[in-house]
A = this chain, B = another copy of it.
Amino acid sequence: MMIDYEALATSYLEVWNEPDEAIRAKSAAELYAADAGYIDPLVVAEGVDTIVATIGAVQQQFPGWTFRLAGPVDGHHNQVRFTWTLGPAGTDSANAPVIGFDVAVLDAEGKVSAVYGFLDRVPAAA
């Protein structure tokens, strides 16, 4: 299976940026395995439906903010790592209020089965 890791990371963040829950659920169902898991320091989400809801909660916490890829996407076999930023439109990556890092693991069908997330910068109030 040839994997376009850059495209995968881009699609991944597009799902996190999608404000319409129905569209997000549809995109997420294409991206994630049904029983996918997502764990970062603040959230544990099991199953794609819970992940879709979690994304909605994050969007409500940071209205209008956008996830962006920051730096290179590095993948091999069924795993990929990338750094992302979250911030208001027009914020450059270096000044983003939130910086995170994910390792996404894909199943045999190329769907995201597990995401191991870490945070490199969080707002002081978080």
Chain A interface, DSSP helix/strand/loop, else mixed:
strand
Query: Distance (Å) between the CB of A107 and the closest chain B CB?
Result: 13
Give the residues in chain B near A101, CB-CB below 8 Å: 81
Q: A interface, how many residues as a size bin?
A: 10 to 19
**Which residue in chain B gives the minimum CB-CB distance to A105?**
B116
**Which residue in chain B gives the minimum CB-CB distance to A40?**
B76
Q: Does A33 contact B (CB under 8 A)?
A: no
For this complex, 7 residue pairs linking A to B, each with C-beta atoms less than 8 Å apart, are A40-B76, A79-B118, A81-B103, A81-B116, A103-B103, A103-B116, A116-B116
Known: A39-B76, A81-B116. 4 other contacts (CB 8 A): A39-B79, A74-B118, A81-B118, A103-B116
